[in-house]
Amino acid sequence: MAEPLVIKICGIKTLDLLETTIAAGADMVGFVHFVRSPRHVSIEDIATLISAARGRIETCVLLVNPDNSCVAEVAALGPDWIQLHGPESPHRVEAIRAEAGVEIMKAVPIGSAEDVRHVADFVDVADRILVDAKPPKGADRPGGLGETFDWALLETLDPSVPFMLSGGLTPQTVAEAIRTVRPFGVDVSSGVESAPGVKDKKLIEAFIRNARAAV
């Protein structure tokens, strides 16, 4: 029997949307702590959201190239996961995991076959791999840009490496993505928004419903 699909809704900013996401049946919820993102949430608000979510859904705080004090501040909130979404090296990922004492998800941007080869660098230092679309040159942030990448590139990935898929997924495309790529989980942010940073309840519900139906 196949493992159940893990569905993560990232970029949640309010208690109301947290409740929507839990009620719709997501497995994980992501909070972005990165000032340049339209989904940025303060440490204080993340603390409130994690408290409300605890024991009901797994929580993940997304950071981009964080310094040690930021890692410590976030780890103290007690999330289930810290997601590293910047240019962190394998050595840095390993150091953050040791320091935080929290499970680490490492996002690896994919735009070429060479990028796929880099996934292997993080398998032993992160607890989970998330493959995402590589942002275009000149982008001011590393994710949540609504771009997909060529899923065929993942055919060269070691099949023993489990991964979550992100990058431009929507309620309309998630089923095809799951059937084509066979990830163990999917992660969506901009694909369930009516405007940058503005989540849409009906899109969240449709995304989860369509993802579950594809398995």
Whether residue 143 is predicted with pLDDT greater than 90 in this model: the reply is no
pLDDT recorded at residue 1: 35
Query: Which alpha helices (DSSP H) does 54-164 contain, by range?
Result: 68-75, 90-100, 113-122
Phi-psi group of 128: left, alpha or beta (phi > 0 → left; psi -120 to 50 → alpha; rest → beta): beta
Q: Please give the average per-residue pLDDT across 14-21, as a whole number.
A: 97
pLDDT recorded at residue 31: 98
Going by C-alpha positions, the residue among 145, 105, 143 that lies closest to residue 125 is 105
| pLDDT per position as a tens digit, 99-128 | 999 999 999 999 999 999 999 999 999 999
Rounded to whole angstroms, how far apart are CA atoms 210 and 66?
Answer: 34
16 annotated active-site: no
Q: Apex CA 210: angle with CA 208 and CA 211, to 5°?
A: 65
Whether residue 30 is predicted with pLDDT greater than 60 in this model: the reply is yes
User: How large a percentage of the chain has pLDDT more than 90?
Assistant: 90
Q: Please give the average per-residue pLDDT across 117-141, as a whole number.
A: 87
| pLDDT per position as a tens digit, 150-176 | 999 999 999 899 999 999 999 999 999
Catalytic residue among 16, 70, 124, 132: 132
Q: Which domains does the chain have, with CATH numbers?
A: 6-214 (3.20.20.70)
132 annotated active-site: yes
